[in-house]
């Protein structure tokens, strides 16, 4: 597995743990809220076509952190050579292999969210 940052997301997500997430009719919305005192900045990461997702406490991903040599810094990444995407295609008997699915990794200070989506996320900052 190799990861590549979506440009500029590290700075936008610094000190922003997961506040919540919602999934409705294929749209996954991830909300992050600043944990800096007196700062009420919120980021929303929206995937319009999320096919699958999973949420894991970042402290439980020891193998992933080791595989990435500690490169898992808060941000949004694309994942190359994704076992999750291979698993998804196996489970769906490949019916989505012609879709342009991509494995995205949303790393917060407290959780890691893996998302399989046919569209790049939209990131909205609310001050």
**Domains identified in the chain, total number:** 1
> What torsion, rounded to 10 degrees, do the Cα atoms 13, 19, 23, 28 define?
-10
The band of 125, judged by pLDDT with boundaries at 50, 70 and 90, is: confident
- 2-47 pLDDT, tens digit each: 888 887 666 566 678 899 999 999 999 999 987 776 667 888 999 9
Please state, in angstroms and rounded to a whole number, the distance separating the CA atoms of residues 105 and 48: 15
Model confidence, pTM = 0.85
Nearest to 17 by CA among 6, 30, 26, 4: 30
Q: What would the pLDDT profile of 77-120 be if each residue is shown by its tens digit?
A: 999 989 999 998 888 787 777 668 999 999 888 889 999 999 99
Q: What is the pLDDT of residues 47-58, one digit of tens each?
A: 999 999 999 987
Residue 68 has pLDDT above 80, yes or no: no
User: Does residue 27 sit in helix, strand or coil?
Assistant: strand
Structural domain including 7 reads 2-126
The DSSP symbol for 10 reads: H
Contact in structure between 106 and 36 (CB atoms under 8 Å): no
pLDDT for 79 equals 92
Counted residue by residue, the chain has a size of 127
* CB contact at 8 A, 12 and 74: no
Name every residue whose Cβ is closer than 8 Å to that of residue 51 and which is 6 or more positions away in sequence.
26, 88, 96, 99, 101, 116, 117, 118
User: Is the pLDDT assigned to residue 66 strictly greater than 70?
Assistant: no
User: Can you tell me whether residue 71 is helix, strand or coil?
Assistant: coil
């Amino acid at each position: 597995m190799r990861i590549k940052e979506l440009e500029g997301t590290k700075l936008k997500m610094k000190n922003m743990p997961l506040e919540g997430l919602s999934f409705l009719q294929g749209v996954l919305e991830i909300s992050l809220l600043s944990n800096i005192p007196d700062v009420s900045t919120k980021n929303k990461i929206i995937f319009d076509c999320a096919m699958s997702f999973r949420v894991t406490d970042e402290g439980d991903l020891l193998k992933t952190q080791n595989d990435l040599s500690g490169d898992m810094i808060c941000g949004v990444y694309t994942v190359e050579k994704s076992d999750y995407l291979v698993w998804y295609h196996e489970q769906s008997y490949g019916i989505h292999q012609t879709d342009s699915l991509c494995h995205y990794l949303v790393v917060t200070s407290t959780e890691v969210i893996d998302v399989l989506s046919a569209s790049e996320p939209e990131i909205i900052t609310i001050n």
